[in-house]
Amino acid sequence: MKIVNEQESEILTDEKIITRKHFLSLTGKSLIGTAVSTSMVSDLLAQEKLKATSPPAKIPPAQDAPIELEAWKSDVDQASAPLPTPLAPKDRVGYAVVGLGHLALGEILPALSSCKKSKLVALVSGSPEKLEKVGKQYGISPENCYNYETYDTLKDNPEVDVIYIVLPNGLHHEYVIRGAKAGKHMLCEKPMANSSQECRDMITACNEAGVKLMIAYRIQYQPHNRTLRELIQKKEFGIPKLIETSNNQSSANPNHWRHKKSLAGGGALPDIGIYCLNTLRFILQEEPSEVFGYVYSTPGNPLFAEVEELVSWQMRFSNGLIANCATHYNVHESRQLRVLCEKGWYNIDKAYAYKGQQMQKAYAEGKIGYQDQLFISEINQFAAEMDHFSDCVLNNKKPFTAGEEGLQDHIIMEAIYESAHSGKPVKISSQPSFAELHGPEPILD
């Protein structure tokens, strides 16, 4: 430890010598007569190093107010959303999409065309044919097309602000860490990785590089789920007592990466069951205290030689709330969520689908029982989540679904597998608050 005084021109630390002027400029304070510890100086140097490696901050463009048009509708009808206020293309955040498979080609690239703050600027794929074809379709020049060997050179492309990882789960860890080292903000598909340890490595790598990390939990930007959360939080029907939810689909190709443990991490649970888990944690704004799991795979079915077919699990929350959850890889598609409260229930059909959600609520008033259909305007969930991440990059905010949120899902999934293996309930000791896992609420305009 050293005492700084007016005369001293240098502060000696374990790492290096910095000038008094530099030290004062880092702290922005006068430190005359102040005790300065080595760790304090090291922290400041680390901050400086971070600033040197972090991507340059983008200057947030002034957001226009929506254009006002003459009003003509009566308020008897459902109100329309305000008119969109897209940023000029030059002000939007540039995305490199990595992995041109079903999700990227079917949903993400088309969604980028309807974003207001985000734009596609680069593609990464192992297939030169795909790069050529998709590059032409979306107007991406050959210089902005990369393969997995040239991936790290994205760091030299100033048009790229964000790298969006849409690769098999088992590759998320490597490509997020390499992308962070290239100094780019990272958006990563769910599940975040193959294990909680990989998630921790990814969070550390992004923190060390001074870049943002968001997990693409589109469901938390989806208006039906957001409405359900609001109604539960304001206890419209009292306290939730029982939840029933499942996310199921059918699979046919045993050679697909989803059926290889090293690339998928697991079977139905990390791929689609994670939606039940993540959505319940989101709408309740609470962590389960205990899980009890059961795993099954039909013997001899080559689809399930490495990964599981079915996971059924129970989660216990406060106030005695129990959630019965299931996910299956070998039944006809079905995605349901039903929340039973003291005085009524909510139901969402197609709960975890890309679109087509239908929401109902049931309750009684005297002799009349009601079952209402809620008409909630759909939005493109992928465009909403990407524009939210762009807003975080432009305005230096923590993403709503930060890396810590992805880690928590992995901690719980590991407990579900452990419980299924042991046949006993497993306590969840990791109990972060909603605020610790989330950045500020997204502005969904």
Q: Which residues bind ligand NAD (CB under 6 A)?
A: 99-104, 126, 166-169, 171, 189-190, 216, 218, 257, 263, 271
Nearer to ligand NAD, 100 or 307 (CB): 100
Backbone angles phi, psi at 264, to 5 degrees: -105, -25
Backbone angles phi, psi at 433, to 5 degrees: -75, 165
Nearer to ligand NAD, 313 or 382 (CB): 382
CA 255 to chain CA centroid, Å, is: 28
Work out how close the CB of 171 gets to ligand NAD at its nearest, in angstroms, rounded to a whole number. 6
Nearer to ligand NAD, 20 or 350 (CB): 350
Work out how close the CB of 240 gets to ligand NAD at its nearest, in angstroms, rounded to a whole number. 25
Work out how close the CB of 354 gets to ligand NAD at its nearest, in angstroms, rounded to a whole number. 7
Dist CA 356 CA 350 (whole Å): 6
190: annotated active-site residue: yes
Please classify residue 308 by burial: count the beta carbons closer than 10 Å to its beta carbon, then call 0-12 exposed, 13-18 middle and 19+ buried: buried
The two three-digit tokens of residue 232, written as one number: 């539960």
Strand pairing report for 93-98 and 118-124? parallel
User: 208: left (phi > 0), else alpha (psi -120 to 50), else beta?
Assistant: alpha
Nearer to ligand NAD, 96 or 166 (CB): 166
- Shortest-Cβ-distance residue relative to ligand NAD: 101
Work out how close the CB of 266 gets to ligand NAD at its nearest, in angstroms, rounded to a whole number. 11
Work out how close the CB of 192 gets to ligand NAD at its nearest, in angstroms, rounded to a whole number. 9
From 116, 184, 190, 361, active-site residue: 190
From 175, 275, 346, 352, active-site residue: 275
Give the position of tokens 């990059």.
393
- Element (H or E) spanning 121, and its range? strand 118-124
Look at the chain and count its residues: 445
Instruction: Say which DSSP state 99 is in.
Output: -
Nearer to ligand NAD, 11 or 274 (CB): 274
Which residues are identified as catalytic?
190, 275
